[in-house]
Every structure is written in C-alpha cells, then in structure tokens.
Structure 1
Amino acid sequence: MGKPAPGLVIFDCDGVLVDTERQANAIMAAMVSELGHPMTGPDCQKQFMGRTLEDVQRLVEELTGRTLPADWPEQVRARDLESFRAGVSAIPGVAAVLDHLDAAGVPFCVGSSGKYEKMRTTLGSAGLLPRLEGRLFSAQDCARGKPAPDVFLLAARGMNHAPETCVVIEDSLPGVRAAAAAGMRVFAFVEDPACDRAAMTEAGAVLFEAMADLPDLLFSKT
C-alpha cells in the first residue's frame, strides 16, 4: 500500500523554487575570502547551505578567528539582494509542479531560512510570488533556524495542517534534518552535483534529480 497523498507541501525557497544558490555562494565565498580565509562557492555550499546567516556568522567567526560586526548578516543580505534584483530564474519545472498541486487540490507554501524581503525579491524576480504570497514562512519568526524543525512547524500551523500530513521539498542537509525533526516526509532535490546525497539519504530523504519527477513521487501509489 502506498503513502497517502500529502495534505500540505512545504517548499524550501533557495535552490528549490528559485535558482539563487550559486549566486549566493559566490558572494559568500568572496566575503569570507576578504576576511583572510579563502573559500570557493562550492566550499560555502558544503559548509553553510540551508543555515540562517546568523548561524553562518558564528561558523565564519570560528573559521577566521575574527569577531564580525553585529550587522554582518545584513551586509551579506544587502549584497545578495543587489545581485538577485538583477534577475533570478525559477528552478526549471517547478511551475509545472505547482500547477499539478493546484489541479490535485493540494495546498502548498514556503518554509525558508531566508527573510521575507529576500523571498519576495527572489520569488518576484522569478515570477512565482503571485502564487505564494500569503503563504511564506521564514525562520526570522522562529527561535531556531534549520536544522531545528521550527520553520516547518510554523508553516504547518500557519496552513492549519498537522505535521504528519506534510511533505517538505528541500535541497540542503540542514533542511532535510529539520523536516525529519518535524516529523514530516521529505524529498531532496539533488540536481546540484555538490549535494551530499549519502548524508541526505541517511537523514531520511527520498532523492530526486528533476522537478518533472516530483509529482509522481508525491502521489505514488506504490
């Protein structure tokens, strides 16, 4: 007997709905390298992906041995937003996934480590915001960021669904762990070769490489 159809689908934002990860990681790599600790974009993805910038600041301070200014996360956000305003694409195939969920009558929302301003900027640039406005949930409203389950539990409450009826779509290991901690099924989008597939599988995710495959996974009867 197959799994029940999801009651609610919660999407991460960056790297799942919008193609921002490479831009953001390149910016982060430049900023950390400026602090005297050379890093590449893939280095940043491996170490920081899925975390809040406040958590990243603590990790960068450990790496560099330097105390960063209190507004360092805002400096990163400002650089990111400047880049994102120049143009962000939707992840290929994700609009069709949203169409499929609409046709099936399954509600969806966003649960992200990013702040609301960033989500509205990137989703707006990608043309997805009209479909998601009013259904955005951010770790800025939570005591803890991913891998804690707070933002996904917030999204479930906000959409009036029990956690066990929710399915999360993620692309980061902290996000997968957050979904598992929330008691939710999780599918990990691993199109990026830098993804830690083994760790995501160990954390409980079902992996998929193309958005076109997601509807069959969500509604599988086997």
Structure 2
Amino acid sequence: MADKNKDGNVTGNDVADASRPGLDQRTTAADTITRLLDDCQIVLFDCDGVLVDSEPISLATLVDVLDHFGAPLTFKEVADKFTGRSSSAPIDHIRVETGRDIKTEFKPFFYEKLFARYDIELRKIGDIDAVLEALRSRKIAFCISSSSSVERLEKTMTVTGLGQWFDDRIYSADFVRNGKPAPDLFLHACADMGFAPKSTIVIEDSVAGVTAAVAAGMKCIGFVGGGHYDGQHSEAANRLYDAGADIVIDDMGILAAVIAA
C-alpha cells in the first residue's frame, strides 16, 4: 500500500498507484507519453540498456575485470554501483580498494573482454527500430547521449547496425567534464543540436541517467525492459520514479505506437 507525504502526494513502492502507472497499465502509459510528446522537439537516448541489451554483458564482464584487479564485487553490487556510470567509477573503486591507479590499464583490458562478447551476444532492444522510424516520420530529432566512451559506442553501432539511424548525432561522456548523474552531457547534446532543455525527452534505464535528466530540466521516460532488470521490473521502475522519471515502461512497442499515432 502506498503512503502519502505531508502534501498529500502518493509515495512509496506501489508503481500501480495513481501517480505511478503500473507496467501493465498500457493505456495510462500511452496517455502520459502522449502528453510528454506534445511539446517535444528532440529525444535523447541513452545507449546501454535502452538501445541495446548490453548491460548484462557489460556487468558480467566488469565483475571479472574487478576481480582481476583485486577489487571484487558481486554482480548485484556491480549493477547497483555502476549502472549508467562512466568507466571512471570502477576505476575509482579499484583505486580506493587497492591503492592502485589503473587508469591506463583498465579500458584496454575491459574492452578486449567486452568486445569479444559483443561480437557474439550483443542485440538491439526489441522494437527500437520502430521507435526510431516513428520519430523520423514525425520529424522529431533524436540522438544518443551515453555514458559510454566513443570507442564503445562505435563498436555498438557497428555490431548492431544502429549507426545508420544516428550518423554523427552521438554524444559520449568523453565530451564533458562530469558524467551522469550530472546534467552536463544532456545539456551539451541539446545545445549542440540546437534545442532547449524544456523541449527534450530523455529515455534512460538508470537512476544516474534519470537524475541527470531531471537536473537538466528535461522530461524523462524510464525504461526497464533490458535484460539486467529481468525479474525485477517493478522494483527497478520504482527506483526510476523515485529519481524523477515522468513515466516508466518496459516495452518499446508502447513508445513506438504512441509516437506513430
């Protein structure tokens, strides 16, 4: 049962209450998305866990890499600490735990293992092509704004074929001083594309990303349909709502249908 705060607003962990449409409430979700789209001119997509189902691959690889560098964590701990964050976060963790600065060693070692798995395992999120086609048909601009490095994004675009949709409209945490949860990357992408934050929708799967979108003054659609949220969609949705998401969905087909309507 949800609680109410002193202002009478619904709070707590019930995503099916009046303020938090449940993931199975398709009509309510569609109505909310329709309202968000009314004054939307651009959509900013996170990449990992939103465009591609890469998080289970990268998190499992990171577990192995942290163990290699002497700073082990469980899969759940890695997911909780690093989902939506740039590579500086695990590098900092290793330095704190071991006293070693492995900044120059980390990426080559991590990427060698990760990219080998990408070639075999990486897949697009279901219906994401339909979402991008609907945005193009509706003449709503879109781009990628991701915590991933340029190198990792290039690999992702090549393996999945998604690069054809985005051309040079790909923004990496490499471009800014402060990564998510700071708003810098989203504000940089918006400014470079020539749009105002208030006309922007961000699509994010992580608390760090949603927090960054809210701090940037942008609307945010949370997405919990990636493989890293299997079996915990409602719990993940609550975390994104708590971070400030306007709506949370677990099916890109809903978004595609609303945009195309």
> Would you say 1:207 and 2:240 are equivalent positions?
no
State the TM-score, normalizing by the size of structure 1: 0.90
Which of 157, 169, 191 is the aligned partner of 1:157?
191
> Would you say 1:118 and 2:152 are equivalent positions?
yes
Q: Which amino acid aligns with 1:210?
A: D
> Would you say 1:66 and 2:106 are equivalent positions?
no
Partner of 2:206: 172
RMSD (Å) for aligned C-alpha atoms? 2.1
| Equivalent-residue separation in structure 1 for 2:160 and 2:85 (angstroms) | 22
Percentage of pairs with the same residue:
30
Distance 1:157 1:82, change over 3 A: same
> Would you say 1:196 and 2:226 are equivalent positions?
no
| Equivalent-residue separation in structure 2 for 1:73 and 1:176 (angstroms) | 27
Distance 1:219 1:156, change over 3 A: farther
Q: Mapping of 1:1-222 within 5 angstroms?
A: 2-3=35-36, 4-62=38-96, 64-74=97-107, 75-191=109-225, 192-193=229-230, 196-205=236-245, 206-215=247-256
Q: Is the 8 A contact 1:85 1:121 kept in 2?
A: no
State the 1:65 CA deviation. 3.6
State the 1:218 CA deviation. 6.0
Q: Which amino acid aligns with 1:212?
A: G
| Equivalent-residue separation in structure 1 for 2:64 and 2:150 (angstroms) | 24
| Equivalent-residue separation in structure 2 for 1:78 and 1:184 (angstroms) | 35
Distance 1:87 1:129, change over 3 A: farther
User: What SS does the corresponding residue of 1:79 show, helix, strand or coil?
Assistant: helix
| Equivalent-residue separation in structure 1 for 2:66 and 2:202 (angstroms) | 31
| Equivalent-residue separation in structure 1 for 2:75 and 2:237 (angstroms) | 18
| Equivalent-residue separation in structure 2 for 1:152 and 1:160 (angstroms) | 12
State the 1:107 CA deviation. 0.9
State the 1:76 CA deviation. 1.9
For the pair shown, the structure with the greater C-alpha radius of gyration is: 2
